[in-house]
Structure 1
């Protein structure tokens, strides 16, 4: 990071805390040997893992179960040119433990597009990075009012 680029690096805990404030992110995975990005609703679990609830028959489940994926969430204010972005990278696994599945039915993310059979996918946060755009909107070095 350059000292004057307007961004502040976020530490791991700040990143995980910010993930709890937004309902939608994007999974980056490989589909037919090419990168693919899919918006999903999610929830951050108590251990920092990202949880996605989706249809058991979705192409996403078969593509990411057991694979290393990236997950990105952000919040942007276009008026003030401020915001943040967090990226989580780690292994994605299907939740198969019955007790864990039952807990997630009660506390996990709610699907925006319910399906007859839904599953939970957990992304373990092996690498977590983020940055925040600080300083707001400026024009030629002069801060503009919001």
Structure 2
């Protein structure tokens, strides 16, 4: 048995990580900076409960006056959950997006927790349809608005 551990490789490029990819330091971000970074990317992951179990889906989004908006379809589990929410506040979800360099492992990550509601105002729905173009094939006639309650963000930087 060899004493050498196998070399890890980057899943995208197939190259080993650089020497720069050692331990990382996490620097907390304030709410405004975290939401600013989130607005600069278009894809994230939404986490919600489906049949009492956690479910996560990749989706594209926009930020609209501090709210995260995604589009979905009638048969989507999240759409059904948001329609069935017992309270007027919606259903609790988490939304995560990041931009982390695969070679250096530097970047940022933002996680938002809040309530998701189906957008019912026709003017808002029409506007979201014009601003947010789904990246998956199929009908996406619904929009979900997430109002952030908790916003956690961190920069991933080298240890000094």
Fold match by TM threshold 0.5: yes
TM-score, normalised to structure 2, is 0.76
Instruction: Say yes or no: does 1:13 pair with 2:13.
Output: no
Mind listing any 5+ residue stretches in structure 1 that lack a counterpart?
142-146
Tell me if the contact between 2:43 and 2:60 (Cα under 8 Å) persists in the aligned partners. yes
- The count of residues paired between Structure 1 and Structure 2 equals 132
Q: State which of 43, 47, 53 in structure 2 corresponds to 1:28.
A: 47
2:69 is paired with a residue whose SS is: strand
In the alignment, which residue of structure 1 is the partner of 2:72? 54
TM-score, normalised to structure 1, is 0.82
**Pair member with larger Rg:** 2
Task: Report the Cα offset of residue 102 of structure 1.
Answer: 1.7
Q: State which of 108, 116, 139 in structure 2 corresponds to 1:92.
A: 116
Q: Whole-Å Cα distance in 1 between the matches of residues 77 and 26 of structure 2?
A: 36
Which has the higher mean CA deviation after the structures are superposed, 63-72 or 93-102?
63-72
Mind listing any 5+ residue stretches in structure 2 that lack a counterpart?
1-22, 84-89
Question: Which 4+ runs in 1 deviate beyond 4 A?
Answer: none
2:40 is paired with a residue whose SS is: coil
Task: Report the Cα offset of residue 75 of structure 1.
Answer: 0.8
Which has the higher mean CA deviation after the structures are superposed, 70-79 or 111-120?
111-120
Q: Whole-Å Cα distance in 1 between the matches of residues 45 and 147 of structure 2?
A: 15
Task: Report the Cα offset of residue 8 of structure 1.
Answer: 0.5
